[in-house]
Structure 1
Amino acid sequence: MASVVNVILSGGVGSRLWPLSRKSKPKQYIPLFEGRSLFELTVARNQTFTDQTLMVGGIKNVDLAREFLPATKSQTIVEAAPRNTAAAIAFAALACDPDDILIVTPSDHLIENQEAYENIMREGIKYAEEGFLVTFGIQPTRPETGYGYIEYQGNDVLSFREKPNEDTAKEFLKKGNFLWNSGIFCFKASIYLEELFRFEPKVFRTSKEVYESANGGQFSADLSAKIPSKSIDYAVMERSERIKVIPSNFIWSDMGSYDSLYDYLKVKGHQVDGSGNMVIGTQKYVSFLGVENTILVHTEDAILVVHKRSSQDVKHLYEELENHNSPLL
């Protein structure tokens, strides 16, 4: 009998949430959300309507995740090298029975309104049982430039759009038939592999070779390096004719940058001064003069000061530090 499997992807480092998020402990494992981490919340959220949990990630992520995974009916796949989401999901599909339904979820999203979420996921499972690849779109509430968009009509996808500039994002909202791309997917394992083979045969073949040649569950780093680094969006979702989108009404944020974290913490009662400035990570007295909507992030070895509207640019700072092999990562 086919199972419903929650495939949790946990390979990212959360570069836009540096210095809170580090390679040694990415953002999804930091207990910022009323004492719980995004990974912990992701596992719990999907337990009520899935039969198994399968996590795909690097060795450090697997070690950090282990205490939050179910004691039974859970499995981990340890990647030797990160090769993007198309390959990660291929590993999961190869580990499952062909008719198993995979609900693929990032491990670093915040979702509220559990009842609405479960209803939407069950609708996605029905489409997946019919052979469709399902993506879930979020009704946009602002002209967000940090998310991709889905142009849709009913449950049909008209187009996928990359992260827009502000003017384009405003135009999307004005048109009213665009959704934020949540990065959550649902499909049969076999259907995903069929479409991956159809559009990206090299990703399919090299991922299959890595999976089948594993020694004691250990993937070959040399073989893994041969897998083309492609996202599931580019490799399959933007090219297949089997796609359905479900407009979704649960509360969602990818928690990918400080503007999202700021909005969440503010709603939860985190202190903000009269000019909209916020301090994260310290109880020391901090005074902001002549600035507004600014976030100060304090850690033991680094301090970041960023304007809320520049939150996406933290990634560039992270990349600069990475280019200099900084120990601060």
Structure 2
Amino acid sequence: MKSSIVHVLLTGGIGSRLWPLSRKSQPKQYLELFNGESLFEKTIIRNRNFADRLLVVGNVDNCHLSKNILENKNIAYVNIVESTPRNTAAAIAFAAFAVDSEDVLLVTPSDHIIENEEAYEVALKEAIDKAEQGYIVTFGVQPTKPETGYGYIEFKNDTVLSFREKPNAVTAKQFIATGNFLWNSGMFCFKAGVFLEELQKYQPDVYEKAKLVWDNNKEGNLDLDLSLNIPSISVDYAVMERSKKIKVVPAAFEWSDLGSFESVYDYLLSTGEIVDANGNMTIGCGLPTHFLGLKNVIFVHTPTANLILQKEHSQDVKDIYNQLEKEESKLLD
């Protein structure tokens, strides 16, 4: 019997490196920066033809944003609303508890951009085939540069040799030079039952406490007090780096998590966004803006805050976000 394919859409990210565009009230996946569409919409449309059902795992702060888009587009979905963030291991466990154990889950973030639909389709079909054989599949993207903002997967054929944290510039160059490293896309494919078996084996505390929360859900809404007992652990640490059932699909599609203004800059440039002769760009500003004596500078405008940064320092925006968070600034809302 052919497995039912369930697209599990994770929507919990804040996009702190895209402040001040991305705020708690409007995280980056809901920003209509891409020809009037959001990354959330693009992700749903991209996977709609492959999936039999859509399951959205969100939280109390953003579930209304998802609901507005999905209802406006008249898209049917199953809603899971976390009362507090407990990281990706628990979020995916809730989705797995919500479906049949033989269902194949295609788990994707809601804030990534993917180009080359044909290559994406090839990768997806290969991943689903491996998942139906009982493997837990991760998607690795062929790197185009020594990026320090992504984790990496060391691989041989479809076997994962190791997962690596975000490297420094020297290590990233070494990864690229060896030719057997892929960017870790954070996308997965597996049978719900297989994932839960591995989670129970390697992280029983997360499994048991997430199951208790799910068993007490009310129409997909999860209890806060019970949820706070779940250890906050990523799916990489909980399962991917420990299971013996992992396979990787080395994918040829173009991919970015658009996690920094440098990656947004590169994407907008590829779609025809105007920069001046020195590579300077404005984002969110409709007024004529001129740069003097500056190169590769991004000017980000919002009604309540501006950000001016050297493109190469995009990863450091998170430091500003963290400082504002310590100050409990309303500029994050």
TM-score above 0.5, yes or no: yes
**1:145-164 correspondence to structure 2 within 5 Å:** 145-164=148-167
In structure 2, do the counterparts of structure 1 residues 288 and 72 end up closer, same or farther at CA, with 3 Å as the change threshold? Answer: closer
Q: Does 1:135 align with 2:143?
A: no
Correspondence for 1:289: 292
Counterpart secondary structure, 2:207:
helix
Q: Does 1:224 align with 2:216?
A: no
Residues 268-310 of structure 1 deviation map (CA, whole Å, 9 limit, x = unaligned): 1111111111111112222222221110100000000111111
How far is 1:266 from its partner? 0.9
**1:132 and 1:73 mapped to 2: Cα distance?**
28
Amino acid at match of 2:107: V
Cα pair 1:132 1:187 within 8 Å, conserved: yes
Is the CA contact (8 Å cut-off) linking 2:140 and 2:153 kept in structure 1? Answer: yes
Amino acid paired to 2:128: I
Match of 2:115 among 94, 112, 117: 112
Q: 1:164-313, aligned counterparts within 5 Å?
A: 164-313=167-316
Aligned partner of 1:46: which letter?
Answer: N
State the shift of 1:72 in Å.
5.6
Letter in 1 for 2:257: D
Encode CA deviations 1:94-114: one digit per residue, 9 max, x unaligned.
001000000000000001111
Structure 2 partner of 1:28? 29
Give me the whole-angstrom Cα distance separating, in 2, the residues matched to 1:229 and 1:254.
22
What are the superposed Cα offsets for residues 198-255 of structure 1, whole Å, 9 maximum, x if unpaired? Answer: 1111110110011101234331111111110100001100111100001001111101
Matched residues, percent identical? 57
Contact 2:111 2:257 in 1 (8 A): yes
Pick one of 325, 328, 332 that aligns with 1:325: 328
Asked if structure 1 preserves the Cα contact closer than 8 Å seen for 2:79 and 2:220, the reply is: no
Equivalent pairs counted in the alignment come to: 329
Q: Structure 2 vs 1, CA of residues 217 and 135 (structure 1 numbering), >3 Å: closer, same or farther? A: closer
In structure 2, the partner of 1:46 is 47
5+ residue gaps, structure 1: none
Deviation at 1:67, TM superposition (A): 3.5
Q: Pairwise mapping of residues 50-65 of structure 1 onto structure 2 (< 5 A)?
A: 50-65=51-66
1:97 aligns to what?
100
The 1:13/1:72 distance shift into structure 2, 3 A limit, reads closer
Q: Is the 8 A contact 1:43 1:68 kept in 2?
A: no
Which range moves more in the overlay, 62-71 or 163-172? 62-71
Secondary structure, in 3 states, of the residue corresponding to 1:295? strand
Residue 78 of structure 1 pairs with residue 81 of structure 2: yes
Counterpart among 122, 127, 150 of residue 125 in structure 2: 122
Deviations 1:73-114 (A, max 9, x none): 411100010000000000000001000000000000001111
Alpha-carbon distance between aligned partners in 1 of 2:147 and 2:128, rounded to the nearest angstrom = 28
Kept after mapping to 1: 8 A contact 2:60/2:84: no
Q: Tell me the CA shift for residue 48 of structure 1.
A: 0.6
Contact 1:51 1:73 in 2 (8 A): no
Dislocated runs of 4+, deviation >2 Å: 67-73, 215-218
Mapped partners of 2:110, 2:247: distance in 1: 23
- Aligned 8 A contact 1:6 1:53 in 2: yes
Q: Give the CA deviation at 1:191.
A: 0.5
For 1:271 and 1:242, how far apart are their aligned partners in 2?
46
